[in-house]
Amino acid sequence: MSHVAACLVCLSVVLTGGTGLLTPRFPRPKGPVLRSEYSYDTKYFTQPVDHFSFATSDTFDQRYLINRKYFEGDGGPIFFYTGNEGDITWFGDNTGFMWDIAPKFKAMVVFAEHRYYGDSMPYGKDSYKDPRHLGYLTAEQALADFARLITHLKSSIPGAADSPVVAFGGSYGGMLAAWFRMKYPSSVIGSLAASAPVWQFEGLTPCGSQYSIITQDFQKGSPGCDTRIRKSWDLLNQIGQTAAGREKLSSMFSLCSPLNTTKDVTVTMTQWLLNTWFNLAMVDYPYPASFLEPLPAWPIKEVCSLITKSLDVLEGIAAGATLYYNYTGQATCLNIQESAVSSLGDLGWSFQFCSEMTMPSCSDGVHDMFFPEPWNLTAYMAQCKSAWKVTPRPYWILQQFGGKNITAASNIIFSNGLLDPWSAGGVTESLSDSLVAITIADGAHHLDLRSSNPADPQSVIEAREQEVEIIREWLQQYYSGL
Ligand SMILES: *[C@@H]1O[C@H](CO)[C@@H](O)[C@H](O)[C@H]1NC(C)=O
Ligand SMILES: *[C@@H]1O[C@H](CO)[C@@H](O)[C@H](O)[C@H]1NC(C)=O
Ligand SMILES: *[C@@H]1O[C@H](CO)[C@@H](O)[C@H](O)[C@H]1NC(C)=O
Ligand SMILES: *[C@@H]1O[C@H](CO)[C@@H](O)[C@H](O)[C@H]1NC(C)=O
């Protein structure tokens, strides 16, 4: 198979004309959330576009969501979500844990949007125009936005001047929460970094680890499930060689548009399937949820039961993929081009992946059920240059945030669900008394940040109890030092 670059969950960058760069992908919203379960006010705060030089005095309005219902003033805590790559309302809705525990702590709840996402566009419609406009999309600038916003909140809200702030974040937002505590220890007393792959960078984690985890998840899904998926790639390759075969596949998978060329099968369709299995591993939650797609409880088990039940391997694969995309029965066809970059959220992450966030990944078809796709730094650099006209700095994040050498930091909880492919690049063993790792045996991507649910496994119930306990200790330490 002719894959140009390795990827985590792959997206073809449309800017290069369809093929080319493949980008890792965290779960992200498909569109704005229209109706929230939680109540908050939506506000804006004016930020400099560039915190780190005096080359421009441009400003923009950063959106944030705020709820002061439980906050009783008098220096009560502020729970602050460090927004990641997407519309902040989506993170507000999918971080029930903060809402669940805020009343207990009498905490103010704030969700801060990440610049260049949602409604926080530094240059309006021109934000993504070229590197001159887009170059301010970095983690460092986002962290500085958070720090200034906190200063603003504490100075403008009555009773908040001495409030301790606890940062929360999941996925890339978890990376930001951890880095925020490292870089701005005077802004936050501690951080819960959930499913934060802070070590998914050059030289820190073997690039194939994620795909091994996904393979284990499908192995557990039902016996033989991973074997079937492993077999499917060669079968797809063979059948994709002929027009008759492609027609058969198009109809077997009820595809929205027909497979015209061999490459449609061997690149577009296989990447789409790889995406599908990757996504399932991230959202293998113990109850029905609608994080990326509406899905039943333990969706991998359901999908695997379809995959292994069928006599024909590819028909089984089609049935499994259909469950993922058509659980509600609303899908008229399956769109293998859907995983291409389709929204600004996807585009923004693609740019971040091509500038600071060099997060290598690879598969070999031996230690995982996928196909050989090596990580090639040279090819990645070249493709990023051509897609975004920027040269990635693959080692900058290590320099900036310490790589594995972070024991000088304190008060960070690193939580990871072991079903989650992203746990491969996470901190899963405690590094010191106050850099605490919590693993959740039956957890997918930041399950602990979701609201509590009757179907929660014991492992996540215990993880949340431990998290609450540690946050309580941070607060006690803070108040006893005042
Ligand atoms: C096949 O060609 C048609 C007509 O040009 C196009 O609309 C469709 O998107 C193509 N299918 C794929 C999978 O690229
Ligand atoms: C989705 O499910 C509905 C209801 O079962 C079915 O009518 C429809 O054909 C399915 N769509 C696809 C693409 O399989
Ligand atoms: C990596 O990519 C470069 C540029 O595309 C290519 O020349 C080189 O052969 C590749 N290396 C490997 C080991 O595949
Ligand atoms: C980590 O940082 C400390 C303090 O700067 C330094 O002494 C140590 O050598 C570093 N360790 C590694 C593995 O880089």
Query: Three-class SS string for the chain?
Result: CCCCCCCCCCCECHHHCCCCCECCCCCCCCCCCCCCCCCCEEEEEEEECCCCCCCCCCEEEEEEEEECCCCCCCCCCEEEEECCCCCHHHHHHCCHHHHHHHHHHCCEEEEECCCCCCCCCCCHHHCCCCHHHHCCCCHHHHHHHHHHHHHHHHHHCCCCCCCCEEEEEECHHHHHHHHHHHHCCCCCCEEEEECCCCCCCCCCCCCCHHHHHHHHHHHHHCCCHHHHHHHHHHHHHHHCCCHHHHHHHHHHCCECCCCCCHHHHHHHHHHHHHHHHHHHHHCCCCCCEECCCEECCCHHHHHHHHHHHCCCHHHHHHHHHHHHHCCCCCCCCECCCCCCCCCHHHHHHHHHHCCCCCCCCCECCCCCCCCCECCCHHHHHHHHHHHHCCCCCCCHHHHHHCCCCCCCCCCEEEEEECCCHHHHHCCCCCCCCCEEEEEECCCCCCHHHCCCCCCCCHHHHHHHHHHHHHHHHHHHHHHHCC
The pLDDT profile of the chain, 482 residues, written as one tens digit per residue, is: 222 222 333 333 322 223 334 455 666 555 444 456 799 999 999 999 999 999 999 999 999 999 999 999 999 999 999 999 999 999 999 999 999 999 999 999 999 999 999 999 999 999 999 999 999 999 999 999 999 999 999 999 999 999 999 999 999 999 999 999 999 999 999 999 999 999 999 999 999 999 999 999 999 999 999 999 999 999 999 999 999 999 999 999 999 999 999 999 999 999 999 999 999 999 999 999 988 889 999 999 999 999 999 999 999 999 999 999 999 999 999 999 875 444 556 789 999 999 999 999 999 999 999 999 999 999 999 999 999 999 999 999 999 999 999 999 999 999 999 999 999 999 999 999 999 999 999 999 999 999 999 999 999 999 999 999 999 999 999 999 97
Q: Whose CA is nearest to atom 13 of ligand 1?
A: 259
Pocket probe mutation, ligand 2, options 323, 332, 336, max atoms within 8 Å of Cβ:
332
Pocket probe mutation, ligand 1, options 257, 266, 270, max atoms within 8 Å of Cβ:
257
- What is residue 54's predicted lDDT score, i.e. its pLDDT? 97
Q: Tell me, yes or no, whether 316 and 412 share the same domain.
A: no
How many domains is the chain partitioned into structurally? 2
Ligand 1 proximity of 203 Cβ (cutoff 6 Å): no
Domain boundary pick from 295, 325, 342: 342
Q: How far does the chain reach from its first CA to its final CA, in angstroms?
A: 62
Asked, for residue 384, whether it belongs to a domain, the answer is: no
Atom of ligand 1 nearest to the CA of 260: 1
Ligand 1 proximity of 259 Cβ (cutoff 6 Å): yes
Q: How far is the CA of 260 from the centre of ligand 1 (A)?
A: 6
Which amino acid is present at 362?
C
Domain ranges, residue 292: 207-342
> In whole angstroms, what is the distance from residue 351 CA to residue 348 CA?
5
Ligand 3 proximity of 376 Cβ (cutoff 6 Å): yes
Q: Tell me, yes or no, whether 137 and 168 share the same domain.
A: yes
* Residues taking part in catalysis: 171, 420, 445
- What is residue 417's predicted lDDT score, i.e. its pLDDT? 98
Q: Tell me, yes or no, whether 435 and 337 share the same domain.
A: no
Asked, for residue 9, whether it belongs to a domain, the answer is: no
Q: How far is the CA of 257 from the centre of ligand 1 (A)?
A: 6
Q: Tell me, yes or no, whether 82 and 178 share the same domain.
A: yes
Q: Whose CA is nearest to atom 7 of ligand 1?
A: 257
Asked, for residue 326, whether it belongs to a domain, the answer is: yes
Q: Tell me, yes or no, whether 442 and 311 share the same domain.
A: no
Asked, for residue 392, whether it belongs to a domain, the answer is: no
Q: Whose CA is nearest to atom 2 of ligand 1?
A: 260
- Closest ligand to Cα 204: 4
Q: Tell me, yes or no, whether 154 and 221 share the same domain.
A: no
Backbone phi and psi for residue 169, each to the nearest 5 degrees, phi listed first: -165, 155
Atom of ligand 1 nearest to the CA of 268: 13
Q: How far is the CA of 381 from the centre of ligand 3 (A)?
A: 11
- What is residue 482's predicted lDDT score, i.e. its pLDDT? 73
Asked, for residue 298, whether it belongs to a domain, the answer is: yes
- Closest ligand to Cα 329: 2
Ligand 1 proximity of 32 Cβ (cutoff 6 Å): no
The enclosing domain of 286 has a CATH number of 1.20.120.980
Q: How far is the CA of 183 from the centre of ligand 3 (A)?
A: 36
Question: ∠ CA 351-354-357 to the nearest 5 degrees?
Answer: 100
Domain boundary pick from 320, 342, 364: 342
Q: Tell me, yes or no, whether 99 and 149 share the same domain.
A: yes
Q: Tell me, yes or no, whether 221 and 321 share the same domain.
A: yes
Atom of ligand 2 nearest to the CA of 254: 13
The enclosing domain of 184 has a CATH number of 3.40.50.1820
Asked, for residue 1, whether it belongs to a domain, the answer is: no
Q: How far is the CA of 208 from the centre of ligand 3 (A)?
A: 18
Asked, for residue 446, whether it belongs to a domain, the answer is: yes
- Closest ligand to Cα 407: 4
Ligand 1 proximity of 18 Cβ (cutoff 6 Å): no
pTM (2 d.p.): 0.92
